[in-house]
Amino acid sequence: MRQAERLALVHNNYDLFQTDPEEEFQNRIRSGLFFPAESDLAMLFCTLNRKYFGGGLPEVTIQWSSRMKHAGKCISKDRIIRLGRSYHEHYPEDIVDTLKHEMIHIRLPNHSRKFKEEAKRIGASMYAKNYPGMLRGMKYMYVCPACNLTYPSRKMLRNRSCGKCSKGKYDSRFKLKFVKRLDDR
């Protein structure tokens, strides 16, 4: 048995008569007194793997990245999940959600229909929130003409529609409209 699995079993047995380990982890984060170490994330990974994937995902290395500005990234060929420290310092309540999202990427590399079904099944969101530090490097701002959802982008977009309104397929009714260059502020 691997070290992370042993830690997860001890943790789960200790909490056998208390709350769900995932919920307890969330509560500890919400308290504001806890920001998980990589070993805590490895324990959470084992718990979520058993709960949602029947223990079928391979063991991965989970790392915090101080360079990443977005929520997370899965490098499935290297079995690495990286979580963006900057993002999660702004949104610590999203740590569990981001980890669940990246765990799906171990098996499904892109946001396909199957990925979206799996995310819905385990309660993982599809997209991360924006925060001021994340927009650094973004040059263009687009908006959906129907729902007014904004889309910052590093490059000019052509024939892209709102993911929320067009349900994952391009729909010209929801083609994103250019608003402004972000470096013109």
Q: What is the pLDDT of residue 18?
A: 55
In this structure, the answer to whether residues 116 and 31 fall within a common structural domain is: yes
In this structure, the answer to whether residues 120 and 174 fall within a common structural domain is: no
In this structure, the answer to whether residues 17 and 79 fall within a common structural domain is: yes
CATH number of the domain that 75 lies in?
Answer: 3.30.2010.10
In this structure, the answer to whether residues 38 and 113 fall within a common structural domain is: yes
In this structure, the answer to whether residues 144 and 100 fall within a common structural domain is: no
Q: What is the pLDDT of residue 127?
A: 83
Of 110, 130, 150, the one marking the end of a domain is 130
pLDDT tens sequence across 65-90: 998 888 999 998 999 999 999 899 88
pLDDT tens sequence across 6-38: 555 555 555 455 568 888 888 888 888 888 999
Range of the domain at 145: 137-184
pLDDT tens sequence across 133-147: 665 667 888 999 999
pLDDT tens sequence across 158-176: 889 988 888 778 889 999 9
Of 130, 158, 174, the one marking the end of a domain is 130
In this structure, the answer to whether residues 141 and 176 fall within a common structural domain is: yes
pLDDT tens sequence across 120-135: 999 999 888 877 666 5
In this structure, the answer to whether residues 54 and 18 fall within a common structural domain is: yes
In this structure, the answer to whether residues 123 and 164 fall within a common structural domain is: no
Cβ-contact 126, 120 below 8 angstroms: no
Domain count for the chain: 2
Q: What is the pLDDT of residue 118?
A: 96
pTM above 0.75, yes or no: no
17: helix, strand or coil: coil
Of 86, 107, 130, the one marking the end of a domain is 130
In this structure, the answer to whether residues 70 and 146 fall within a common structural domain is: no
In DSSP terms, which residues pair with 175 in a beta bridge?
Answer: 161
In this structure, the answer to whether residues 141 and 54 fall within a common structural domain is: no
- Determine how many CB atoms are found less than 10 A away from the CB of residue 72: 24
Cβ-contact 161, 172 below 8 angstroms: yes
Block residue for tokens 């904004």: 150
